[in-house]
Each structure stands twice: as structure tokens, then as C-alpha cells.
Amino acid sequence: MENLFFKLRSRTTDPFARIKNYLKFRVERLLLLGVHFHLLVIASVIGLVAIGGGLLVQETDAPFDDHETAIWWAFLRLTDPGYLGDDEGLARRVISTVVTVLGYVLFMGSLIAIMTQWLNQTIRNFERGLTPIVRRNHILILGWTNRTSEIVSELIRAEERVRRFLQLLGARGLHVVILSEDVSLERTMELRRALGSLWNPKKITFRSGIPLRIEHLERVDFKNASAIILPGADFAYGSADESDMRIIKTLMSISNQGKRGGGTGDLPLLVTEIFDSDKVFMAQRAYRGILEILASDVFITRCMAQNVRHPGLSHVFHEILSHGLGNEVYIHTSKQFTGSRFGDLSGAYPKAILLGIVRPQGESFCPLLNPPEDLILESEDRLVFLAENYRDCEPLRNYQLERVSRKFQEVSYAREKSKRRILILGWNHKAVDLLKEFGRQIDEQFEVAVLALVPTAQRESEIKQKDIDLRRVVVTHREGETTSLSNLREMEPDRYDNVVILGSDWVNTQEESDARTIVVHLVLRNVLDEGTHKPEILVDLLDSDNVAMFEDYDSEVLITPLIASHVLAQVALRREINVVYEELFAAGGAEICFRRVSDYGIAGQNVNFGELQEMSACRDEIALGIRQNGGVVLNPTPDEPYILSELDDLIVLIREN
């Protein structure tokens, strides 16, 4: 009974406290409505003070004629302290002084505080990138991942490509818009450090948002972009599978909101990255416009597999895929040669190497690299070159085509290893595609041992889902820590032909992944120093800043996000190049490889590169460059003389059936 009385009493006592709390609550809710209501509250308080001061002075021995004049007198003292010396009489001076002091606090202090807070908030909103942009023909990058800064760098470096791309659209200059979930000064400085001397704030705009929300897409004027790049992320969105699902959902959102009148002409070209190749068809169905997809796991593992089969190719890949580091792939339209034989064009381009053609095929393109010499060029064909710049892909003026007749030689090269033993250290979302790529090599067998912390049952399940040809690829699993010296000793890495170190995707950041990779590499080197045989080592890195850690070793490094970034940027500027890269790096078809100088019988002779090109052409191959003393030179000048040893190689483009 006593407790009940206490509860009833506690609910009914102190009504003034409830009234006070209610008023405070209402004022709080009013102030939270924004700066306009801040000003309204302060104006109300100032009005109350002016009324109170005016009514109070009316009670003195020197009142005004009416209340309105008294209130106006108080308001003037409240807003302007200069009136303070005009008053006479003690009472009026006291009231005037109090009102003037309140004016300093309320009228001046509060207004300054409100305006300062509003200005700071406005500047913060500008810095956060919440203002919608109004642009045309900009290049839009959706999302900030470990690929974004490299994509921007590639776009800015590719000045000639960008200029030609924008000229077709009628645009004046490059402008990159980045939609990032977190827009801050730190993010801007991060991009500025990554770009270095390429940084130009006039060419780059950040906007805050996520590509899954249509209002955020409208903030970056996505419908008027010349191209949209939607990169994947190794860590930003969780797993690779989550990144793929996020990208597919974004494609559906853009497609549903961007189409007007049921057509596809209003949707810009979109270039995206899908990790799992099995989800490519889902992405194609999700977008109604022109879509180019980089199946990055397949593409990168093709590079890895080729590098395992031909150690040293990573240097060739790095130069071809990067702008400004030497030679790269260009696509050029030369309608003047319509109806000509492909083999007759070799002399028309002395500064570039003609690799083949790209032929339109419906809404897509068909690459024909290292085609037969008798191939007749059609009007819509595009020529594919390896050159230092686009200008080198221009034919000689007034060049007269002459029929080139070559006597082809049947050559049997020394066979590559028909059976290769490979040790894989680590396991990530690329591992299964790497095994599948090994299985595509028809003339080779692979014995693969895997050491990783990922449970064996999970690995076997992933292999089963990919339908890998286990007749050509025999896989054995072992669970263990790859950074353990004892575990690596038990694996006996010196018994293998190749060792592949894969980054870890189960950690939280790429920094952690690369840290583990570097430690694994050091432990592996210590174990190999105890033996005599040194296998070829290929390292999968995520951050280009860590490449310096491997400069003192002869290990090869593939920076997988860098490769994906370069391809995405180049495809956005010239979509035909996507099928060219797919053809170059896929098993079968056109393939880059090394040929021993001894196979040509020219060791110790003085020959120029033009002569080497002719020798290769007679073997139905295209000479791309040479590898001499471990260094790679692509597309040297035809009259450049060389004296090559039996240990040197020609870099050639071949075609396998």
C-alpha cells in the first residue's frame, strides 16, 4: 500500500517541472527544424525583451506617451548600444543598460552563432558533395574501391584516347565524376597523393552517395554521362560474391530508371567488373544499354596461367596493359585499305606492329588476331596495333600496297613441359578459376598442391561447382598456415616447377592481405635457400606500393587490382578493346609466348628487328619484341640491330588451334 501511494505521489507531484520540461522539449523540437527556426526563436526572445523593457520603463517616474513608443525605445537600445548615453534619470538608465547588455548577448551573440553554425554546415554540405551536378559527356565512376584511383590515373594519362573519345561525342575536355559513399578532405587527399603530378581539381568532382540509390545516381547526372565505370572491390563490399550482387543490383537500378520511352539509346555505355564469370549472364540481362563486362577473376587467372607456362610474361603484360609505360594496344580505322589482303599491310606501318583486326558482329565484335595473310579487309573492320602512341598507327602517306608472298616454314619447336608441378600457397576467389584455366591447356598436365587455411571441404566444393577437368589437373589439398616455416618445409617447394602465392581475401583489408603475402614470400625464400632447385615464383599482390618489397628477388609480381583498373579504363574509352584482351589472354586462339633464338638459328648473328619480323611471319607468327638478358623490349624499330645469344628469346604472337 505504501509503495502504491509513493507511485501515485511521484506521478502527480511537481507539475511545474513537467511544464518546464514540456516547454524545453517543444523548444528543442523547434530548434531541430533548421536555421530558419533558430532565427524565429531568437526573434521571439528579442521581441519579448523589447516588450518587457518597454512596459517596465512605463512604470518609472518618466513614462512615454504610449506603450508603442516605450517598446520601440527598448528595441532601439536592444539592437544598438549607441543610444545608451541619450537617457536621463536613474531608472531609465538602469533599464537601458540591462536591455543593452541583453542586446549584446541575444541580438549580436546569438545571431553571430546561428549564422556561423549555418555557414559551417553549408560548407560541410558542399564538402560532402551533396549538390547535384549538371554536366554532359563526363566519365562517371560509381564507388570508391581499391581500383578507383588507378582508373582515374589511367584516364588522365590516356590523353590521346580521351581526346578522340570526347571528339566523337562533341565534348571539349575530360571530366571525371566519382560517386563515393564517403566524401571528405581525407578522400580527396588520398586521390591527390595517388595521382601525384597528374592531379587537377578542375577535372575531378566528388559526389557523396551509393550507386544503389537512384537519387544518388541523379546527383551525378548519370543519364548524361559519356561512359559509366562500375568497378568491383576486393574488400570494400565484403566478399567477391557480395560485390557481384551489389553490381548487378546497381545495373538493374540504372537500367530501370535510365530508360525513357522503352529504348536503350538514352543509357550510356557502362563498363563493369564481375568477379564470378558464372554471373556474367545475369549482369547482361540486368542492363538494357550497351554493356561491357570484365570477368576479372577469369581474366587475371588467364594472365597467371600464361605466366606459369611462360615465366617472364608478367613484364610484357604490365607494359601492354598500362598507359605511358611503353607500348600498348590501339585500335584504328583505316577504310582506305578496304578490300586489301591483311598480309599486304605489314610495310604500311613502320612504327607499329599490326596484330590483327576487330570485326563488328551484331551488337558485339569478333577479334581476329594473327589472321591468315589472305584475309580480305571489310569496310567496318578495325585494325589492331601494338604501338607507343596512336600517331604511330597512321599508315605511310601515299603508300602503295604490294602483294607480299612468303614461303611458310613448317617448324617443330621444342615442346614445353607436358607435365608441370605447381604449388599454390593460399586460397582466394581466384584460385578455382586458376585451376580451371590450367585445365584448358590441352597439351599439358598439371599436378597442383594447395596449402591454405581454408578448409579442404570448402575448396573441394568450390572446385566441384566450377566443373574443372580433373583429368588434366590433379589437385591435392593440405590445411595449414602458409606463414609457418615448418609447414612450408613439409611441402618441399623445391620439388615444384612453379610456386604461386595468392593473396588472402578472408582478412579485412588489402594491407593485411599484402602483409601476409610478403611474409609468405620471405618464409618461402628461406626454405628454398636450403635446397638447390629454385622454382619460378609468381606473387598475387593487391597494392602497387608493395612491389618494392620484391625488387631484390627474381620473383614475378602481378598487381591484380591494377590490371583490372587499366582494362576498365581502356574499355570505357574504346569498347572494342575488351574482346581483343579476351582473345590475347585466353587459352587457345591468339597467344603471346617466347621463342628461343636457337629455334631460329641466328644465335651470335647480327640481325635487325625487321629481319626477325620477316622470319616470324614465315612461321605464321608475329614478332612483338625480344627478351635479352632478362629485359623485355617491345616494338623496337625495324632497323635496330641485335646480336642475340641462345638464351635470349623472341616475343611472338602465335595462333593455336
**By C-alpha distance, which of 241, 242, 247 is closest to 462?**
241
- What are 598's three cell numbers? 636457337
Q: Report residues of the chain scoring pLDDT below 50.
A: 1, 4-6, 8, 12, 261-264
- Amino acid code (one letter) for 407: K
Strand 227-230 to strand 328-332: parallel, antiparallel, or no bridges (unpaired)?
unpaired
Which CATH fold topology does 419-565 show?
Answer: Rossmann fold (3.40.50)
DSSP string of 120-142, one letter each residue: HHHHHHHHTT-SPP--SS-EEEE
Q: Is 308 exposed, middle or buried (0-12, 13-18, 19+ CB in 10 A)?
A: buried
CA distance 329 to 16: 81
pLDDT value at residue 238:
65
**By C-alpha distance, which of 333, 586, 234, 256 is closest to 442?**
586
Cβ density class 431-460: b for 16+ within 10 Å, e for less: bbbbbbbbbbbeebbbebbbbbebeeeebe
Please check whether residue 390 is in contact with residue 161, taking contact to mean a CB–CB distance below 8 angstroms: yes
Q: Which residues pair with 607 in a beta bridge?
A: 642
pLDDT value at residue 478:
93
**Model confidence over 302-327: pLDDT tens digits?**
999 989 988 888 888 888 888 777 88
**Residues whose CB is less than 8 angstroms from the CB of residue 454 and which lie 6 or more positions away in sequence, other chains included:** 427, 479, 506
CATH architecture of the region 588-657: 2-Layer Sandwich (3.30)
Strand 139-142 to strand 227-230: parallel, antiparallel, or no bridges (unpaired)?
parallel
CATH number of 328-387: 3.30.70.1450
Distances (CA, A) of 328 to 3, 120, 371: 86, 48, 19
Residue 351 phi/psi, 5° resolution? Answer: -100, 0
Which CATH fold topology does 139-289 show?
Answer: Rossmann fold (3.40.50)
pLDDT value at residue 641:
85
- Amino acid code (one letter) for 194: A
* Domain residue limits, the chain: 16-127, 139-289, 328-387, 419-565, 588-657
- Amino acid code (one letter) for 30: L
Strand 606-608 to strand 641-643: parallel, antiparallel, or no bridges (unpaired)?
antiparallel
CATH architecture of the region 16-127: Orthogonal Bundle (1.10)
Same topology, domains 328-387 and 588-657? Answer is yes
**Residues whose CB is less than 8 angstroms from the CB of residue 590 and which lie 6 or more positions away in sequence, other chains included:** 355, 356, 367, 369, 370, 583, 584, 653, 654, 655
Q: SS3 for 598?
A: helix
Distances (CA, A) of 293 to 137, 248, 271, 273: 21, 11, 6, 6
Strand 498-501 to strand 419-425: parallel, antiparallel, or no bridges (unpaired)?
parallel
CB atoms within 10 A of CB 268: 19
**Model confidence over 61-111: pLDDT tens digits?**
667 778 788 888 777 777 777 666 677 777 777 777 787 787 777 777 777
CA distance 384 to 371: 11
CA distance 609 to 636: 7
**By C-alpha distance, which of 599, 614, 591 is closest to 649?**
599
CB atoms within 10 A of CB 307: 21
Q: At what angle do helices 159-169 and 560-573 cross, to 10 degrees?
A: 30
Please check whether residue 107 is in contact with residue 119, taking contact to mean a CB–CB distance below 8 angstroms: no
